[in-house]
Amino acid sequence: MKDHEKSKDQLICELQALRQSSENRFKPLYNSNLIGISFWDANGAIVDANHAYLDMIGYSLEELHSGEISWKQMTPPEYAYLDEQCIEDIRNKGVCKPFEKEYIRKDGSHVPVIIGCSALHDGEISAITYLIDISEQKRIEEQLHRAMKMDALGKLVGGVVHDYNNTLGVIFGYAELLQIHLSDDPKLSSYCQEILRAGTRGANLNRKLLSYSCRERAKSTRVDINQVFGFGETKLHHWQQTVSSGQDLGFVTILAQ
């Protein structure tokens, strides 16, 4: 009987020593404040936390000791289902896989975090939680998302600008031809001049739009050369009729089959 009691006492001592050893290994991490660490009970009350955790949520050590902090009250309603899933995992598996959520700080602002939990069986404490502030990561992600949107917008604007430039080229060309043909009619010639001025304003606007578009290296694309020369042939015929003045001036275009 005495041997049995001695063996039992020895087991208790060994367990206490093992617990003390585990606590001694854990304390440096807890006190380092590299991550937020807290202990909470089944009601959601935070019963202990390190300074890193308190800094993330904006509460003081005095408020912690007075029992004013509850992770349930700090959780926005849209994240409640994630907490429920976490508690279910702790109940069934003893651990909850890390997940993203937000906490409502004391000042009302939100802080995005990665949170993970593990079950504890120590009196009223039911779980330990680690917390990592990912505000900087979210800020960088938002900047990247905004940059990608601007890049897509720049590509769209760049394409529109180039197409508009082609249209302006046609307007300028035919307006100049009309101005030459209407040189004997000052009134109609002035109308052509207004068209050219409007085209110039459009070209200036195009250049401003182009400054916001992405500056990419030129890309080769296939074109129908017959269509290109077909348009050029029409313009050249007009120029030939305008400038030849009886001279033997002409050109020949041979399109591909």
pLDDT digits (tens, 9 = 90+) for 52-61: 999 999 999 8
Q: Are residue 81 and residue 119 in the same domain, yes or no?
A: yes
Specify whether 155 is located in the same domain as 191. Answer: yes
**Domain with 90 in it:** 30-133
Which pLDDT does position 131 carry in this prediction? 92
pLDDT value at position 99? 94
Reported as a single tens digit per residue, the pLDDT across 95-119 is 989 999 999 999 999 999 999 998 8
Buried b (16+ CB within 10 A) or exposed e, 31-69: eeeebbbbbbeeebbbbebbebbbbbbbbeeeebeeeeb
Mean pLDDT over the full length of the chain: 77
Instruction: Assess contact for 158 and 216: CB atoms under 8 A.
Output: yes
Point out the domain boundary residue: 93, 116, 133.
133
Q: How confident is the model over 142-200, as pLDDT tens digits?
A: 898 888 888 887 788 778 888 888 888 888 888 888 888 888 888 888 888 888 888 88
Question: In terms of domains, do 103 and 165 share one?
Answer: no
Residues 74, 153 within the same domain: no
Residues 70-94 have pLDDT tens digits of 888 899 999 999 999 998 898 888 8
Looking at residue 72, which CATH number applies to its domain? Answer: 3.30.450.20
Domain count of the fold of the chain: 2
Residue 75: per-residue pLDDT: 92
- Give me the phi and psi of 153, to 5 degrees please: -65, -40
Is 0.75 topped by the overall pTM?
no
Domain boundary among 133, 168, 202: 133
Confidence of residue 218 (pLDDT cuts 50, 70, 90): very low
Is residue 256 a part of any domain in this protein? no
Q: Do 147 and 100 belong to one domain? A: no
SS (H, E, C) 86-150: HHHHHHHHCEEEEEEEEEECCCCCEEEEEEEEEEEEECCEEEEEEEEECHHHHHHHHHHHHHHHH
Sorted by sequence, the CB contacts under 8 Å of residue 105 that are 6+ apart come out as: 56, 57, 58, 74, 111
User: Token digits for 239?
Assistant: 């120029």
Please choose, from the candidates 140, 113, 137, the residue with its C-alpha nearest in 3D space to the C-alpha of residue 36. Answer: 113
Structural domain includes residue 46: yes
Task: Tell me whether residue 252 is in a domain.
Answer: no
- Of 111, 133, 155, the one marking the end of a domain is 133
